[in-house]
């Protein structure tokens, strides 16, 4: 087993979230990635998923804006065209490689649509193997909906996140703890705030009970926003609502916060982050761990065509630069 002193975990967590860089979430499951490729007219296969992820990782200068890249198991075990594995190539490009280790969600029995994230069985062995292959950090995502979240669903998912985080730290891997309250639907800001409070409260209770070292984790939360089908509110209002929740529930020793984009358009997600980063009394660095907000336009531009790789990479870099600019206010 890899053992790292607590200071080394804190160091990696700080590298991921400080200095005006953020995380590229390129860990779509095979099912999600295949469907996104097919929506762009690209036949889905292990090769096309690999080609697309190679396009992302090899964009020239990516490490100026990106501190870490989250990969799924398939990509983690694939090689670039030059024969280097993805985790090795990421490190050589100045980007820390991470691995998504949850195995997805399933219905929580008896809880009317609430979900529980699975993947704890055998996780210790998998983490040891990922660490040996170069993983610096991991990710586990719990998924909540404002209409179905209950205290029990929050506790059950918080418990799983805490067991995952403790195991990661035992294997010298920084856990990204992602409790996502979905922003699909037409709910208002208050509903998102209430659900996010419930989720974060349960998660931090469980993390503390599990003895997780909060200086060696990265929290990946949603911005607190009205649903995507509801009337939008100004970014400053989103930032204020998000900060109010985080200030009350996220201990100051947490190494950093890296937001998911949640399906918000790139410019909106960057505006939320920008306004949040300007709040001076924040005790933690804030940055991004966006998926769609960074990559959707690049995937569309590429469309599976070799001749569009360079243009698609420029589109990706532009989004990464904008997100990093938004996080730049961070100390």
Residue 261 interacts with ligand 5MM (CB under 6 A): yes or no: yes
Contact criterion met (CB below 8 Å) for 286 and 275: no
Read off φ and ψ for residue 231, nearest 5 degrees: -65, 135
Among residues 62, 260, 276, 324, the one that binds ligand 5MM under rule CB under 6 A: 260
Q: Taking the complex as a whole, how short is the minimal distance between the CB of residue 33 and ligand 5MM, in angstroms?
A: 7
Contact criterion met (CB below 8 Å) for 205 and 159: no
Per residue, the 3-state secondary structure of 116-153, as one string, reads EECCCCCHHHHHHHHHHCCCCEEEEEEEECCCCCCHHH
Q: Taking the complex as a whole, how short is the minimal distance between the CB of residue 329 and ligand 5MM, in angstroms?
A: 20
Residue 195 interacts with ligand 5MM (CB under 6 A): yes or no: no
Among residues 171, 262, 275, 313, the one that binds ligand 5MM under rule CB under 6 A: 262
* Region 227-246 residues binding ligand 5MM, contact defined as CB under 6 A: none
Residue 28 interacts with ligand 5MM (CB under 6 A): yes or no: yes
Contact criterion met (CB below 8 Å) for 160 and 203: no
Contact criterion met (CB below 8 Å) for 236 and 271: no
CA nearest to 180, candidates 324, 289, 49: 289
Let me know if 74 is a catalytic residue: no
Among residues 204, 272, 290, 302, the one that binds ligand 5MM under rule CB under 6 A: 290
DSSP string, 184-250: -SS--HHHHHHHHHHHHHHHHHHHHHTT--GGG-EE-PPP----TTSPP--HHHHHHHHHHHHHHHS
Q: Which of 28, 100, 139, 178 is catalytic?
A: 178
Site string (135-164) toward ligand 5MM, x via CB under 6 A: ------x-----------------------
Nearer to ligand 5MM, 25 or 270 (CB): 25
Residue 29 interacts with ligand 5MM (CB under 6 A): yes or no: yes
Q: Taking the complex as a whole, how short is the minimal distance between the CB of residue 139 and ligand 5MM, in angstroms?
A: 7
Q: Taking the complex as a whole, how short is the minimal distance between the CB of residue 274 and ligand 5MM, in angstroms?
A: 16
Round to whole Å and give the CA distance between 136 and 249.
26
CA nearest to 169, candidates 135, 217, 218, 116: 217
Segment contacting ligand 5MM (CB under 6 A): 26-34, 50-58, 189-197, 297-305?
A: 26-34
Nearer to ligand 5MM, 4 or 200 (CB): 200
Let me know if 220 is a catalytic residue: yes
Residues that bind ligand 5MM (CB under 6 A): 25, 27-29, 32, 141, 180, 260-262, 290-293
């Amino acid at each position: 087993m890899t053992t790292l002193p607590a200071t080394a975990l804190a160091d990696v967590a700080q590298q991921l979230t400080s200095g005006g860089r953020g995380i590229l979430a390129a860990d779509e499951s095979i099912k999600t990635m295949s469907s996104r490729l097919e929506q762009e007219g690209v036949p889905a296969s292990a090769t096309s998923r690999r080609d697309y992820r190679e396009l992302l990782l090899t964009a020239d200068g990516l490490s100026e804006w990106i501190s870490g890249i989250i990969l799924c198991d398939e990509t983690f075990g694939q090689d670039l065209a030059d024969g280097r594995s993805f985790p090795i190539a990421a490190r050589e490009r100045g980007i820390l490689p991470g691995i998504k280790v949850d195995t997805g969600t399933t219905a929580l029995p008896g809880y009317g649509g609430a979900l529980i994230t699975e993947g704890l069985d055998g996780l210790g062995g998998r983490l040891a193997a990922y660490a040996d292959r170069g993983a610096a950090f991991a990710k586990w995502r719990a998924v909540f909906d404002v209409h179905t979240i209950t205290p029990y669903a929050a506790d059950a998912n918080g418990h799983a996140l805490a067991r995952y985080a403790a195991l990661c730290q035992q294997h010298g891997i920084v856990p990204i703890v992602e409790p996502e309250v979905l922003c699909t639907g037409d709910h208002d800001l208050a509903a998102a705030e209430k659900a996010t409070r419930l989720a974060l409260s349960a998660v931090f209770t469980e993390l503390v009970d599990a003895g997780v070292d909060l200086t060696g984790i990265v929290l990946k939360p949603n911005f607190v926003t009205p649903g995507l089908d509801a009337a939008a509110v100004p970014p400053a209002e989103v930032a204020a609502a998000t900060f109010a929740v985080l200030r009350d529930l996220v201990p100051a020793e947490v190494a950093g916060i890296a937001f998911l984009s949640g399906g918000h358009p790139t410019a909106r997600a960057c505006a939320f982050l920008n306004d949040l980063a300007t709040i001076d009394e924040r005790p933690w660095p804030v940055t991004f761990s966006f998926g769609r907000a960074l990559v959707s336009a690049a995937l569309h531009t590429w469309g599976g065509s070799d001749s569009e790789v360079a243009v698609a990479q420029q589109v990706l870099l532009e989004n990464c630069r904008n997100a990093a600019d938004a996080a730049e206010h961070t100390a």
